[in-house]
Amino acid sequence: LAVEGVWALAWISYIAFCSLVSFVRSRARNHLNIPGHQLEDLCLSLLLYPSVALQMELSTVPGNRQETKTEKLNNNEEAGEEKVDSIVNISMDTVPPVAREEG
């Protein structure tokens, strides 16, 4: 039953599996605009692939994904612009028209 050198095949299979997981993680990060690096993805896939799989599931299933810092910043900027626009519109509506003097 025991064959010498089978451990090498096991390591090759594991590294191939983790490479595939890191490739999928990189694609998910790029799609969701999450910063990171491919080497980081590979290292995490080799060491913590169950956590990587859970993170990918939580970030790609609709309704589970939380906003990234960049998305929060962009949304806050858009909300701030809308707030300023609404304040300007309200203040312009409450200002009485200027009476012109006929001379």
Quick one: CA torsion of 48, 51, 52, 53, rounded to 10 degrees?
Answer: 120
23-71 pLDDT, tens digit per residue, is: 999 998 888 888 889 999 999 999 998 999 898 888 887 776 666 666 6
Determine the length of the chain.
103
Q: Which residue is listed with tokens 């200002």?
A: 95
Take residue 15 and report the two structure tokens written for it. 């590294």
Whether the predicted model's global pTM rises above the 0.85 cut: no
pLDDT at 92 over 60: no
